[in-house]
Structure 1
Amino acid sequence: MSSIRSAANSRTWLLSTPHTAYALRVSDRELPAHLHWGAPLTLAQAAAMAPHGPVYGVGVDGPGHPEEYLVAGGARFGVSSLQVQFSDGTRPVQPVLVGEHVEEESGGATLTLSYADEHYPLTIDLHYRVHDGCDVIERWTTLRHPADPPAFVTRADSACWTLPPRPDYRLSHVTGHWSSESQVERVTLARAETTLTSRRGLTGHHANPWVMVDAGDATEDAGEVWGAALAWSGSWRITVDRSPTDRVQLFGGYGHDALTWRLAGDDCLRTPVFCGLYSDGGFGAASRGWHEHVREHVLPRPDEVRPVVYNSWEATGFAVDVAGQQRLARLAAPLGVELFVMDDGWFGKRLSDNAGLGDWTPNPDRFPDGLTPLIDEVHRLGMRFGLWVEPEMVNPDSDLYRAHPDWVLHSANRARTEVRQQLVLNFARPDVAAWAHGWLDGLLRDHKIDFLKWDFNRPFTEAGWPEAADGADRLWIDHIQAVYDLLDRLRADHPRLRVESCAGGGGRVDLGILAHTDEVWTSDNTDAYDRLSIQYGFSQVYPAAIMAAWVTDSPNWLNGRVTPLRFRFHVAMAGVLAIGGNLTEWSPEELAEAADLVAQYKRIRPIVQHGRQYRLAPPGAPVTAVQYVSRDGAESVVFAYRPAPTFGRHPQPLPLRGLDPAATYRDKDTGTQHPGALLLTHGLPLTLPTGDYASALVTLIRV
């Protein structure tokens, strides 16, 4: 059980989770002091703690104790969580406590600490939430200024997380670019402000809104790790501040530099959740903690078994028509595919990426009788039907843009930068959001569509709204919130609907979008070898149940690499399996092998999608491996990948994780029995095919 309790005599609050504790102390005339984030404590122990003070004194080292939320003003010289300018030009904030409240909820509790500026009508509510059975703590902030003239907010972080003193610190995060997302970096944390950010209006391929910090000695299986992840799908900023005297704090929130948000009257800024997680079991245990949080407290349908998908994009590109799609569907169904998805090219004058976005009616030349004949054929074959859409975008060469050129993000007297021959629609405008809901709702009501692949292929530019006389910068927030609201409304009205988040590959992967969708497209790079490192980085925070992974053609379209079909399947089977190759060119032998591998996946997917994941060996090792263990511990699945053989050497046995050392496990395929203790210590013997890009799938059953 998790709980939130207070010690009235010391004004101390203790947040307890199954394996961790978080403590803070409240003051009447300043924001609360941070006490502890780490191993479990009793309330009495927390109440007896003294905040970690400055090394050289107030005014030199900053505030006399680490604060839970830093405001600009006073003897604070580092990062500010909150920056406000009042109508008379005053910037410092002087908070006074006005309330403390705990709300007990089904499965958890929320603490709210309410502050008000002692002179101006600004209120600051700090929120902390815990969930039963989960070590992740959620924090966010609510700001109000219910009077005119307004205040102007230039930074509003969701939270600030403080780490305990350690001899050294190391920062882990991911970086990358299009088709090379989620590349893990672990570096010594500089004594400086290290900022990860996106100024693009979307999460981004180049970074992802999470960080982990350890003392430099954590491994996959041991050591303390502190992590924080932001639940937001627009522009964001996370700053890791290591002071010259080694105070480390993690700041995170939406927005970026140069934005200003007007706050007055009924306006409210409710920041996105900035989650924190402590683990003493290394990076692997930290990842499993994040996976559990996503499954239990983020995803709308966490218990769903994700279907096997076929997507037509790599097979057809924009050359889409009803006959070609029906032919692909007839080839996909015998493989065991459960959901057939038609990608880009089905609407308007969409013969390439130069035109058509915004005109969401079937192309009459390619679909003379509409979508119904294709959908009916897909359903006759026993599959569900899905469709690619990009609702937030428009081509200048479209009827929509010609009718409503003012609907896009733009600035007065400035050119409109096209990326991929398209512009971004301003979903902060109520009329644009209503238009998008109208055609999407009509499409779903008029057709038996089970799935939308929701794409977002370019960043914001010229992110203005000339018609908005005041507060145009709010569109950076309001656009994303409108997308969330639209997704929720569509899902409520169409309960069978599944949605995949896509943004030119993995450009919109975050805890925010996952609360409104079912899975994400991991990367446009479908090469199986490259996917090993992409999926390794992805798994640091996000579970396999949301990681869409395709089996496509060889040579791969992106890099020309040739890999065996078995290797491609085994890599994709470590997530949500899909097929994206041109099945009309697959041989009968390849189709038969694919059907067999799909059947294997269906037997193991409850373990892969809902089990506990263990990264046994990273990309770059002689054999890369990942293991999944069912929630009850009765079954385990191991994938092993050897990109290239080492002459004269057989692969070493692979030590496993998460098994019962007192149990015996039987290899489902060979019948060989292995003592659990030996699997954990001496390892699982591996048999891999000869040649490059060899792989193995082993299923173990507890006997």
Structure 2
Amino acid sequence: MNKIGSKGLFSGIIVSLAMIASARAQSVVIPVETKDNALVLEVGNDRVLNMVYFGGRLGNKDEYKNIGGLNNFSGTIGSYNNAYTTAGTSNLVEPAIQVTHADGNKSLDLKYVNHTVTKISDDVSLLSINLKDPVYNFEVTLNYKTYYDENVTEQWSVIKNREKKSVVLNKYASANLCLQGSEYWLKHYHGDWAQEMKPEEERLSNGIKTIDSKLGTRADLFQPPTFMLSLGKSATEESGEVMYGNLEWSGNFRLDFEVDPSNHLRLIAGINNYASDYVLKAGGDLETPKFVYTLSDKGKGEATHNFHNWARKYKIADGEGPRLTLLNNWESTYFDFNEDKLASLLKDTKKLGVDLFLLDDGWFGNKYPRNGDHAGLGDWQENKAKLPHDIGYLVKEANMNGVKFGIWVEPEMVNPKSELYEKHPDWVVKQPQRPEIYMRNQLVLDLTNPAVQDFVFGVVDGLFTKNPDLAYIKWDCNSVIFNANSAYEKNQSNFYTDYVFGLYKVLDRLRSKYPKVPMMLCSGGGGRVDYGALHYFTEYWPSDDTDPLERIFIQWENSYFYPALTSSNHVTDWGKQPIKFRVDVAMMGKLGFDIVVGKLKPNELAFCQAAVNTYKQFSEAIWHGDQYHLQDPRENDIASVIYVDQAKSSAIMFNYLVNWRVGTESNAPIRLKGLDPEKKYRVEEVNVMPGSRSTIKPSTYSGKFLMTVGVNPDVKSWRPSVLIAVKELK
């Protein structure tokens, strides 16, 4: 198996209440419940599976059977609320699935067969609903995996071809939801390289709004598969009904939002069918990627906590474990380094007080040395001129300095100027009769080919085999797919989908052998951030833009969906802000440095060393605590966020000036969130530059006071970033 409305017009027919009751008595009602919410499916006497409700959970399950008759989902051309809308029969709205049978017929009609519920744990349950076409031997199983305490559901389909010949899947979505609200407000994101996660919110009108990607790799470069959907009105941090969604897929995706003639919203999420009519062989199954979502009637804050708690516990690699602070050499040296220079940087790693030294791009290639981004990619042997004693020497040097060692790879890619390209031109994604098109002077390897999968696995496995103490991998992916064509794939329309299946096969093998090794998902910045990829990675790189002012906005938007321990934030020389501002911003996640430590002034070095210690004191709150967005940088001169540990005993509040016009400052207290109102807390400023004095007097307050009145961080142009520690008095 591959993993991958207002009421309709009056019809003139009067149906008695007795007839309605009789028909509904034959229905099958299937509630999908979490702690606070319920999604209700219903099978009528026509054996069609419909979705009749998505909202707050009822105390009495027997009452779900009364919901279906209260809403009119029918229009002049049929029903709009099918749980998995087919094409070619009675449905004329946007389909979730569309097929072409071997005889050329394009109709599909899925009828309910049965369903099962599997209890995986006290918290997790799986509902599987089997549907079958009465004419063709074609089946679909709809899966709903619920995480009860977290109020999260993962939904996907398994499409089964039991016909005697291949069928073509023209569309094959993971999920099809029907939502009800007076209005629908969609917040989605767009951007480009170094401009990721720009938000845009709009009221959906009748018709279809589609968010998609056709880039192949780095699929999120322009738009990520992540969104907020408010029902009725635009949700605030603490009020409104809002749904978060994310497609767990690292390739081309498609999200359709269709407001139907009855003013219901039909949401279809799945793999993008662009250039991807999938040929499914006789007897074959296709498992679509999971679509994960949560619903909150208490605003965005609760939805954020739902996603964060679920992700750390169930999805992210080692989501409940610690993270490593690091020093990266990239912006210190770029491609210009040797053993002596790196050995010096290893000593700086220890001096700075971080856990790991990360060697970035440029360490490999001999016939075509990797002295720039135009050559060597794909030739994963140490460059003898730079590293005469190989990686092992540096790993030992790191150990001798009391730090760990990590390394950069980009194993899915190749430079045309490389030995790999010369030996295996058939491994490269390209059109044989057209000019090659490059992004960062490179092309993409064909991961539909098992030989290429073995090679990519071998790149990373070989590094660990030779260097067992290797402690970290930075996995990059800088190019999108141009000229999509595979020398291996027989059905070219399967290529985009099978590429991602191939990538996941490699990552499955790596995680099976190296389950705990930290790995950063880089992808030229935030070009591949989704929960399908984060299943294999401990963290991601939000953007190549490390200007701290810009990073506040990028990290802020990502943090609605992804917990802080997944966000790799590095201190660099980008931007005009002082070192304190840069460090303070990087501490809102997984802290790293990409600077020349030797060029720091004594007081700057002392500050960075103290900041690393402060970070480690509050890392539990940042990594595994609850995050609260206090003041949005797009709506206020001062941005503010707080992380509170699970025991509500320790918290750290980050405050930043984001409007540098004259006279902007924090003029009023900012109310904190997430504390215990009955506890007493000591409040004081931390991360103060050596030689400077805090303007905030250490004081003691009740949690009730801090959440009702608040504290003024005293942010001004001459102190543009302020960190406040909140610790329980015991």
Q: Is TM-score (shorter-chain normalized) higher than 0.5? A: yes
Partner of 1:339: 356
Task: Give the alignment partner of residue 162 of structure 1, picking from 165, 172, 178.
Answer: 178
> Tell me, what secondary structure is at the counterpart of 1:490?
helix
Structure 1 vs Structure 2: percent identity of aligned residues? 30
Q: TM-score, normalised by structure 1?
A: 0.94
CA distance in 2, matches of 1:184, 1:635: 31
* DSSP 3-state at the match of 1:177: coil
* Aligned with residue 133 of structure 1, among 145, 149, 152: 149
Counterpart selection for 1:372 from 392, 399, 402: 392
Q: What's the CA shift string for 1:592-612, capped at 9, x where partnerless?
A: 111011111000011001000
- Determine which of 45, 64, 67 is the counterpart of 1:49: 67
Q: 2:417: which partner in 1?
A: 397
Match of 1:586 in 2: 600
Within the candidate set 657, 667, 673, 1:651 is matched to: 667
* 8 Å CA contact retained: 2:664, 2:716: no
Deviations 1:449-493 (A, max 9, x none): 111100000111122124433x22223222222222222322332
Q: 1:235-314 counterparts in 2 under 5 A?
A: 235-314=252-331
Is the contact made by 2:97 and 2:171 (CA closer than 8 Å) also made in structure 1? yes
Classify 1:320/1:9 alpha carbon distance in 2 versus 1 (closer, same or farther; 3 Å).
farther
Asked if 2 retains the 8 angstrom alpha-carbon contact of 1:27 and 1:97, the reply is no
SS in 1 for 2:532: helix
CA contact (8 A) 2:179 2:266 kept: yes
Query: 1 CA distance for matches of 2:339 and 2:516?
Result: 24
The 2-side partners of 1:91 and 1:379 are apart by: 63
Q: State how far apart, in whole Å, the 2-side matches of 1:17 and 1:371 are.
A: 49
Change (3 A) 1:51 1:155: farther
Offset at residue 94 of structure 1 (A): 1.4
Partner of 1:4: none
1:430 shift after superposition: 0.6
Does residue 1:506 correspond to 2:526, yes or no? yes
Cα drift, residue 23 of structure 1: 0.9
Deviation at 1:319, TM superposition (A): 1.0
Q: Secondary structure at the match of 2:474?
A: strand
Q: Which residue of 1 aligns with 2:96?
A: 81
Deviation at 1:190, TM superposition (A): 2.5
Gapped regions of structure 2 (runs ≥ 5): 1-23, 686-696
Could you give the per-residue CA deviations for residues 251-284 of structure 1, whole angstroms, max 9, x where no partner exists?
1101332311111224221000011211011112
Residue 30 of structure 1 deviates from its aligned partner by: 4.7
**Residue type of the alignment partner of 1:26:** V
1:445-594 mapped onto 2 (5 Å cutoff) = 445-447=465-467, 448-469=469-490, 471-553=491-573, 556=574, 561-594=575-608
In 2, the alpha carbon distance for the partners of 1:208 and 1:79 equals: 22
**Structure 1 residues 134 and 358: alpha-carbon distance in aligned structure 2, compared to 1, 3 A threshold:** same
Residue 341 of structure 2 is aligned to residue 324 of structure 1? yes
**Which shows bigger deviation, 516-525 or 221-230?**
221-230
Distance 1:38 1:288 in 2: 18
| In 1, Cα distance between equivalents of 2:253 and 2:337 | 37
Contact 2:489 2:495 in 1 (8 A): no
User: Counterpart in 2 of 1:360?
Assistant: 380
C-alpha distance in 2 between matches for 1:388 and 1:220? 38
Q: SS in structure 1 opposite 2:387? A: coil
- For 1:435, which of 447, 455, 458 is the aligned residue? 455
User: What secondary structure does 1:532 align onto?
Assistant: helix
Deviation at residue 230 of structure 1 after TM alignment: 0.6
Q: Identify the range of structure 1 (395-404 vs 442-451) with the bigger mean alpha-carbon deviation.
A: 442-451
1:664 aligns with 2:691: no
TM-superposed CA distance for 1:96, in Å, is 2.4
1:693 aligned residue: 720
Q: Cα 1:344–1:648, aligned 2, differ >3 Å: closer, same or farther?
A: closer
Task: Quote the offset at 1:147 in angstroms.
Answer: 3.4
1:241 is paired with a residue whose SS is strand
Partner Cα separation in structure 1 for residue 544 and residue 69 of structure 2: 48
- RMSD of aligned alpha carbons: 1.9
For the Cα contact (< 8 Å) 1:635–1:699, is it kept in 2? yes
Unaligned runs of 5+ in 1: 1-6
**Paired position in structure 1 for 2:648:** 633
Structure 1 CA distance, aligned partners of 2:716 and 2:227? Answer: 38
8 Å Cα contact 1:687-1:696 kept in structure 2: no
Give 1:120's match in structure 2, choosing from 111, 126, 136.
136
- TM-fit CA distance, 1:21: 1.3
Match in the other structure for 1:3: none
Tell me how far apart the structure 1 counterparts of residues 663 and 459 of structure 2 sit (CA, whole Å).
60
1:127 deviation in Å? 0.7
Q: Report the CA distance between 1:237 and its aligned residue.
A: 0.6
TM-score normalised according to structure 2 size: 0.91
The answer to whether the 8 Å contact 2:638/2:666 transfers is no
**SS in structure 1 at match of 2:255:** strand
Contact 2:245 2:293 in 1 (8 A): yes
| Distance (whole Å) between structure 2 residues aligned to residue 697 and residue 325 of structure 1 | 36
